[in-house]
Amino acid sequence: MLSASRVRERALEMGFDLVGFAPAGPTPGAARFLAWLRAGYHAEMAYMARAPERRLDPRHLMPNVRTIVVVGLSYETLAVPMEVLQDPARGRIARYAWGADYHDVITPVLRAFGDWLARESRAYVDTGPILERAWAARCGLGFIGKNTCLIHPKRGSYLFLGAVLLSEEIEEADHEHSAAAPPLNTAGAPHRSTGEDAPFSRCGRCARCLVACPTNALPTPGVLDASRCISYLTIELKGGIPLALRPQMGNWVFGCDLCQDVCPYVRRFSRPSDSPLAKAFRPPDPERIAPRLLDLLSMDRTAFHARFKGTAIMRTKRRGLLRNACVAAGNWGSDEALPVLRRLLNDEEPLVREHAVWAIARIQQSAYT
């Protein structure tokens, strides 16, 4: 049987900021997940609704699983002047994608951690049918906020999560010994913490995240309508962005941080990680944080791959990123974008051509208002 203190120690040695664990069983919050699916809030993410029972109990993935271990790694990096991020001539990128693709960085380390933990283990970094945030809360790594993110009271919500399914248990005696330590310490809370307080009790009356969302993607606390979420629209959605939502998207071209940026826990406690792993998430230059729209709109396939290889931005492919950049250019409203947008009217991708037409019309319309 594994020693809880040694598990936490080893997680920190391998570069994770947080670790927690809980006995395997039905997934916490499964009923809320099913209600979310029934409401259609997963939009076109059909994989979320495919065989949903796999997400409801980890024993569907690994029949002999005894313990769930969840790790967290902060991707908070350097402070960036808001005048850069909010410059309408630049395309804004979500913080988690400023550096290397987190899958490539975390997955091999998490698999090695799983191999060290048990004879049989399975590791997932946002790639399998595991509700990581729900399990992270159960394992004591924080609580689910009104913006649906996992929030650690001393680190905020800029956290990558990974889950390991183990065929072994973790020593209960050590849990009891750990219970005397302050909850949610640097290495994570003791196992006995459930992370399941009254819904959003740790948020209190704060509703900043709900108010901050320009597309009203958070219709009620703890419910995300993906079809209206800027992160979904710029990454997951493969077709055209709904016309009514384009003006509200501002200069976001990949993901969105607004509902996290305004969170008091993030503003007060979020800080860069000291882990060597976290160095990979620090941007090599400011142009990775908020690249110029004119540069993005001018990229061919070769330039796109050269600039974003090894990053999460590859997920959108060139056509998706240029689609998003066209929307941002339309919202910028500057005549400076018209020449490159007109060249895109002959682009090989119909998706890019359609959004270039919209951007040109929006810029021309703004000139008369």
Following CA atoms 189, 193, 198, 201 in sequence, which dihedral angle do they give, to the nearest 10 degrees?
-20
219 part of a folded domain: yes
pLDDT at 368: 75
**Digit-coded pLDDT (tens) for 162-221:** 999 999 999 864 443 332 223 333 344 433 444 455 678 899 999 999 999 999 999 999
The total number of structural domains in the chain stands at 1
**Digit-coded pLDDT (tens) for 187-202:** 444 334 444 556 788 9
**Digit-coded pLDDT (tens) for 307-316:** 999 999 999 9
Residue 93 tokens read as 């990128």
What is the C-alpha separation between 202 and 363, in angstroms, rounded? 44
Q: How many CB atoms lie within 10 A of CB 51?
A: 10
pLDDT at 287: 84
What is the C-alpha separation between 154 and 143, in angstroms, rounded? 11
pTM of the model: 0.91
Asked if 253 contacts 316 with a C-beta cutoff of 8 angstroms, the reply is no
108 part of a folded domain: yes
Domain that holds residue 164: 1-77+93-242+257-283
238 part of a folded domain: yes
What is the C-alpha separation between 86 and 106, in angstroms, rounded? 30
> Which amino acid would we find at residue 152?
H
Residue 68 tokens read as 């769930």
12 part of a folded domain: yes
- According to DSSP, the residues that pair with 223 across neighbouring strands are 220
The pLDDT of residue 244 is above 90: yes
Asked if 85 contacts 290 with a C-beta cutoff of 8 angstroms, the reply is yes
What is the C-alpha separation between 365 and 67, in angstroms, rounded? 59
What is the C-alpha separation between 208 and 268, in angstroms, rounded? 14
Per-residue H/E/C for 243-273 = HHHHHHHCCEEECCCHHHHCCHHHHHHCCCC
328 part of a folded domain: no
Q: How many CB atoms lie within 10 A of CB 238?
A: 12
**Digit-coded pLDDT (tens) for 247-296:** 999 999 999 999 999 999 999 999 999 999 999 998 878 788 999 999 99
What is the C-alpha separation between 88 and 85, in angstroms, rounded? 8
252 part of a folded domain: no
pLDDT at 317: 98
Calculate what percentage of the chain has a pLDDT beyond 70. 92
Going by the DSSP 8-state scheme, the letter that residue 203 receives in this structure is: T
Task: Kindly report which listed range (26-40, 143-157, 175-189, 193-207) carries the lowest average pLDDT score.
Answer: 175-189
What is the C-alpha separation between 87 and 125, in angstroms, rounded? 33
Nearest to 17 by CA among 271, 280, 275: 275
What is the C-alpha separation between 302 and 167, in angstroms, rounded? 45
What is the C-alpha separation between 141 and 189, in angstroms, rounded? 6
Asked if 148 contacts 213 with a C-beta cutoff of 8 angstroms, the reply is no
pLDDT at 181: 27
What is the C-alpha separation between 277 and 102, in angstroms, rounded? 10
**Digit-coded pLDDT (tens) for 46-82:** 999 998 999 999 999 999 999 999 999 999 987 788 8
87 is catalytic: no
What is the C-alpha separation between 120 and 63, in angstroms, rounded? 11
Residue 175 tokens read as 């849990």
288 part of a folded domain: no
Nearest to 212 by CA among 237, 229, 187: 229
The active-site residue out of 87, 126, 174, 285 is: 126
Strand 143-144 relative to strand 67-74, pairing: unpaired
State the burial class of residue 185 (Cβ atoms within 10 Å of its Cβ: 0-12, 13-18, 19+).
Answer: middle
Strand 92-93 relative to strand 252-254, pairing: parallel
